[in-house]
Structures are given as C-alpha cells and as structure tokens.
C-alpha cells in the first residue's frame, strides 16, 4: 500500500519555482528569506482554505472520496478546492497535523513528520534506519529504553559514544546518535566533530535537538541526516500536548532519479503501519504553539542565562545560601568553549545556550526538599513550557545523581525566579 496522499507533501519545503501556489507561494512574494518568526506564523497559510484567521480544529478520522467515479485512484483523494488539504484517513494524514508539519518543515529546514510522542519518533527513526549498531551517550533515559526493546527484537547493539574503542566497532549503515544539549544537564556536544566521525566510519548521524529548537540551533548546517525533537517540549510549549518530530535532510528526502521514493515518503508509509500518529487536537495545539516559538524560546533562554550567571557568581563568592548548599551548576554556557567567540559551541549555538540547566546540591536530602520551598517553580517532570519547572530528577530517572535538580525556565520574569530560588535556598 502506498501513501500517495498529496496532503503529505505539506511537510516538504519549497523546491519549485516562484509560480508554485503551494509551499513556495509565500517565499515567492518576497525578495528576501522571511524570518523565523514570520514563517512560524505564516508557513501554513497555503493550506488554509477557509476565511477564518485562526486555524479550525478538525476531529474527523476519515474523509469522503470524490463523487465522480472517474476520479477514484487508490490512496489519492485530492479535493480540487483544497489540493494541499486533501486526506484519506487520519492514520496517514489529517488537516491539523498537516499544518503543524508544514510550519515545522519551514522552521527546521527539512521535510518533517510528526508522531504521537518523542519516543515514538525515536522508535520510528530506528525502525526505518535499521542499524546493527548505535553509538549513544548519556542523555534521555527513554531513548536507551527504546534501544533495549529493539535489541530484544533485532539484536541492535548499543555502543558508548564517548569510548573510542566502541566507536571503532561502528560500520557502514550504523548510527551515531547525539543529544545536544544534553538531558538533564543542558551541556552541548560538537556536531561538526561527530559528522566527521560518521563520515570516516560510513555511519549515519542523527541528533536529538529537543533542548535547542530553532532559533537556538540548526543541525542541518552540520550535515545531520535526521533531526529529532520531542515536540512535547518547546514546539508544544504549554505543557498540554504530546508530540514527536523527525526532520529529514532535504537531499535524503527527495525521490531518486530512477523514481525510488526518498526517505520522506518511506517514513510516511512506515508511519501508516506503525500507527504512531498525533491526534487532531494535538496537531491543532501544535499550530497554535508554533506562532510564538521564537518569542518564547529566546526569552526562556535569556532568562536561563541570567539565572545561571547569578548562580555561578554566588558559587564563586563562596558565601551566602547558594554557596552553602550548591555543589555545582551545569549548562552549555559554563563549558570552556562558551568563552571563545570562535569556538564550535559559539558557532553551533549563536543565539543562546538553551533554557534548561542543572543544579547539583551538596546534599541529596536538600535536593529532594528544595522544590517544596519554591512558589513560582512547579515540581514536575518535562520541560519547555511557559511555566518554570524544577525536578528532583531522581523522581523520573532512576539512573541519575540523586543530588541533581533539573531546571526548565519559563517565561516569567527572571528576577522573580531568582528571588524564588534564593528564598528557597534560605528556607533550607
């Protein structure tokens, strides 16, 4: 069965001439590339066939075929009045997720598919690439769980990313998977370095960029093959939807000259059978959220930087409640390369180092108690929402240091967050 629905093409970035009435329509009207903020609001305009400014929410799982028998072609169901908003069945495509994917494709820079969660996207990616070996470092424990499941099914071998002897075991077609910035510490890894490694070994390079969404990082600048996001986080941005995102490097996505489907169409077809699609409500929420992506992320990242700088200065002073209780703070901005304007880190993350950082307290008991002393920070897992969160990370990751607190900065005033943390430290 081939998923040939024209609506699925919505995730493909513009590739045709300025006369295209589809994805290229907006770009053709301007002499310069539109900003990320403008594309976040308007990249899906070509799909909208209604006069309503706010996107409608469609809940239908199935869509009527043409009344003309001569127009019936398997897995084609083009509505002449809405050629870019034509669908067959929601396990293949649906109106709200199609618009969400169109915006994501524009802001990430490659054809994009959405899934029911970040782990569903990671699973779909590994099923598609089907490596015999995968090199992965620390990071999100859920991805390690997916690898264990696949190991049980296929014998997939997990290798340690930062062990040269393990890396040497990789062969052509295997995967190097990088998470940057890293969960839960917010520290970054050098994509150019791992692209070179992947090329030397004949491997594919995949990146989980959840902690650094646009406009903080563009992994495709470094030749990454597939960029993954947990869209639940910053793309959702309001702690109210689950989503996973895979974006494919454009040259992989295109069909070959002999007509063989590119990665994009292959992934669409595999998703049809995996069944891990987003729901219509989540797609609608995703479109709503993307409108403010840049505003949210830039503010959150700037506020996080202010707080990291303050905490670091308190630690250096050696006196006060912060210095008494805190062992260390981890964040990409505290890596040595952040101080060098010409470093890989400053080039990779030119617009800020991300809204997540970690605080290690000297005492496990104090780490467990601090969240209960705070008023603006919710003690909860996840991240990326407009509200600031703090998590005694041992609540959801049994493998981490029990002195670790992961902090996700929201859109509140950073001075208020600073005061909240300070009074919490003093209360301890």
> What are the residue ranges spanned by the domains of the chain?
293-427
Longest CA–CA separation in the chain, Å: 81
Q: How far apart are CA 87 and CA 65, in angstroms?
A: 9
Report the alpha-carbon angle 211-216-217, nearest 5.
85
The closest alpha carbon to 127, from 115, 140, 139, belongs to 115
Q: Which residues pair with 12 in a beta bridge?
A: none
Residue 11 confidence (pLDDT): 52
Residues in the chain predicted with pLDDT less than 70, given as ranges, are: 1-20
Q: Which residues pair with 76 in a beta bridge?
A: 73
Q: How far apart are CA 81 and CA 84, in angstroms?
A: 9
Residue 413 in tokens: 């005033």
Residue with tokens 């308007």: 42
Residue 324 in tokens: 């008494």
Residue with tokens 């970035």: 13
CATH of 293-427, one of 3.40.50.10860, 3.90.1150.10, 3.60.20.30, 3.40.50.720: 3.90.1150.10
Dihedrals phi, psi of 255, to nearest 5 degrees:
-65, 150
Q: How far apart are CA 78 and CA 411, in angstroms?
A: 42
Dihedrals phi, psi of 115, to nearest 5 degrees:
-135, 175
Residue 21 confidence (pLDDT): 76
pTM summary value: 0.94
Specify whether the CB–CB gap between 328 and 360 falls below 8 A.
Answer: yes
Specify whether the CB–CB gap between 356 and 407 falls below 8 A.
Answer: yes
Contact residues for 161 (Cβ-Cβ < 8 A; gap 6+) = 135, 136, 137, 167, 176, 177, 178
Residue 49 confidence (pLDDT): 86
Q: How far apart are CA 393 and CA 41, in angstroms?
A: 35
Residue 199 has a CB neighbour count (10 Å cut-off) of 11
The closest alpha carbon to 179, from 212, 214, 203, 222, belongs to 212
Report the alpha-carbon angle 89-76-257, nearest 5.
120
Residue 92 in tokens: 């293949």
């Amino acid at each position: 069965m081939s998923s040939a629905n024209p609506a699925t093409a919505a995730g493909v970035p513009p590739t045709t001439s300025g006369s295209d009435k589809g994805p290229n329509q907006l770009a053709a009207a301007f002499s310069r590339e539109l900003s990320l903020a403008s594309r976040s609001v308007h990249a899906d305009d070509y799909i909208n066939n209604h006069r309503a400014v706010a996107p409608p929410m469609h809940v239908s799982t199935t869509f009527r075929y043409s009344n003309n028998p001569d127009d019936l072609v398997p897995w084609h169901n083009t509505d002449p009045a809405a050629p870019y908003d034509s669908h067959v069945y929601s396990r293949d495509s649906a109106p709200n997720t199609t618009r969400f994917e169109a915006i994501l494709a524009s802001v990430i820079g490659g054809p994009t598919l959405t899934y029911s969660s970040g782990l569903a996207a990671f699973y779909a990616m590994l099923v598609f690439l089907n490596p015999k070996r995968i090199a992965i470092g620390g990071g999100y424990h859920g991805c390690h769980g997916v690898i264990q499941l696949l190991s049980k099914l296929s014998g997939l071998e997990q290798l340690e990313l930062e062990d040269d002897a393990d890396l040497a075991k990789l062969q052509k077609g295997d995967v190097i998977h990088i998470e940057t910035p890293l969960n839960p510490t917010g520290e970054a890894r050098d994509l150019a370095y791992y692209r070179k490694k992947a090329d030397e070994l004949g491997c594919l390079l995949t990146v989980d960029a959840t902690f650094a969404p646009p406009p903080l990082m563009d992994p495709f600048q470094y030749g990454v093959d597939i960029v993954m996001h947990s869209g639940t986080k910053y793309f959702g941005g309001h702690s109210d939807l689950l989503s996973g995102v895979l974006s494919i490097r454009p040259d992989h996505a295109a069909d070959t000259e002999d007509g063989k489907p590119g990665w994009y169409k292959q992934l669409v077809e595999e998703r049809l059978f995996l069944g891990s699609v987003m729901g219509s409500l989540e797609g609608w929420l995703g479109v709503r959220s993307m409108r403010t992506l840049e505003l949210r992320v830039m503010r959150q990242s700037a506020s996080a930087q202010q707080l990291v700088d303050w905490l670091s200065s308190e630690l250096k002073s050696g006196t006060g409640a912060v210095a008494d209780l805190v062992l260390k703070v981890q964040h990409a901005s505290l890596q040595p390369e952040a101080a060098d304007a010409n470093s890989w880190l400053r080039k990779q993350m030119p617009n800020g180092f991300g809204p997540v950082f970690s605080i290690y307290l000297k005492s496990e008991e104090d780490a467990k108690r601090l969240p209960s002393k705070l008023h603006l920070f919710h003690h909860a897992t996840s991240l990326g929402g407009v509200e600031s969160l703090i998590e005694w990370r041992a609540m959801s990751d049994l493998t981490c240091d029990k002195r670790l607190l992961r902090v996700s900065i929201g859109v509140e005033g950073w001075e208020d967050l600073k005061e909240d943390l300070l009074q919490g430290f003093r209360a301890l």
